[in-house]
Amino acid sequence: MARLVILKDKGPYEIEAGEKKYYICMCGLSGNKPFCDGSHKKTKDEEEGKLYIYDQNGRVEVQV
């Protein structure tokens, strides 16, 4: 079954635990979920109000 989950954040959520910091993926692109691996950098030039799908070939804009 396929599922479309729309994520709008373009950066990670920072959690401090003592003296350590952890970054949680909020863009949905990380290959190391739930932790951020820097994949959110691909979303920097996304346009507001548009929907994109990412796959192994890159990004595709979806016409809605």
Cβ atoms of 23 and 35 within 8 Å: the answer is yes
Count of helix runs (H) and strand runs (E) in the chain: 0, 4
User: What CA–CA distance (Å, rounded) separates 6 from 44?
Assistant: 16
User: What CA–CA distance (Å, rounded) separates 48 from 64?
Assistant: 13
Note the pLDDT of residue 28: 94
User: What CA–CA distance (Å, rounded) separates 41 from 14?
Assistant: 16
Whether the ω angle into residue 12 lies within 30 degrees of 0, i.e. cis, is no
Examine the pLDDT at 64 and tell me if it is beyond 80.
no
pTM above 0.75, yes or no: yes
Examine the pLDDT at 2 and tell me if it is beyond 90.
no
Note the pLDDT of residue 45: 95
